[in-house]
Amino acid sequence: MTPEALRFYLHDHIPLSRAMAVEVLEASAAHVLLEAPLEPNINMHSTMFGGSAATLALLAAWSVMHLKLEAAGIASQLVIHRTAMEYLLPIAGVAQASAHLDDAHWPSFLQTFQRRGRARLTVVAELLFEGKIAGRLTGEFVAISET
């Protein structure tokens, strides 16, 4: 899926991403990089609202998992089971969220999915502001077979 196709998908299926003005800079089954401006996500301190920051990171983590499942030809519903968000620095401008998949756990995930029709995988996304890590989201996602 191209970055533009992922942006359309997110904006159509998760309208909050459109309201946040989320853009997709990179989109692959291994890495997703999203970006959001401060203006629609600002709080009373002139920094990014914590909910917007967490949502941006969650969207990146969900997207990389979605693209990995799509690339593997796995028809499933992908849902978030649990998240933990760590806020490290205030974000006073454009924020980026970067998510990578750790392939070390993918074979075990696939084996569980094939056996049970559902499986969990943890994905980490980092929030970046001015080249520094401003936050980190750890999300546990569950893929549920559609068949």
Domain interval for residue 87: 3-145
Strand partners for 36: 95
Residue 22 burial (C-beta neighbours within 10 Å; 0-12, 13-18, 19+):
buried
What's the number of domains the chain is made of? 1
- pTM to 2 decimal places: 0.95
User: For position 1, what pLDDT does the model report?
Assistant: 87
64: confidence class by pLDDT, cuts 50, 70, 90: very high
CATH code (residue 44) = 3.10.129.10
